[in-house]
Amino acid sequence: MQKLFTAISKLSHDDAGVTSIEYALLGMLIAVAIVSTVSTVGDAVKLMYEMIASRMP
């Protein structure tokens, strides 16, 4: 764990390191948005198909 903190500390003093950390945070934010959207849309689609299936004879 200490090695991780040391690596992050070294990267934070380097411009390229700071940029890579910013891109990593941006990527994580986008991933969270995609996962939450897919989860919400998936639930809605599931409910729609269940409703259609229940109305079929």
Domain annotation covers residue 9: no
Q: Which residue range(s) make up the domain with 29?
A: 15-54
Domain annotation covers residue 38: yes
Q: Measure the CA–CA gap between 3 and 14, rounded to whole angstroms.
A: 17
Domain annotation covers residue 2: no
* pLDDT at position 51: 95
Domain annotation covers residue 27: yes
Which amino acid, 54?
S
Count of domains for the chain: 1
Q: Which residues of 16-47 are buried (b: 16+ CB within 10 A; e: fewer)?
A: eeeeeeeeeeeeeeeeeeeeeeeeeeeeeeee
Domain annotation covers residue 35: yes
Spans in the chain with pLDDT lower than 70:
11-12, 14
Domain annotation covers residue 45: yes
Domain annotation covers residue 6: no
Domain annotation covers residue 42: yes
* pLDDT at position 16: 73
Say which residue the tokens 């689609």 belong to: 45
* pLDDT at position 25: 94
* pLDDT at position 47: 94
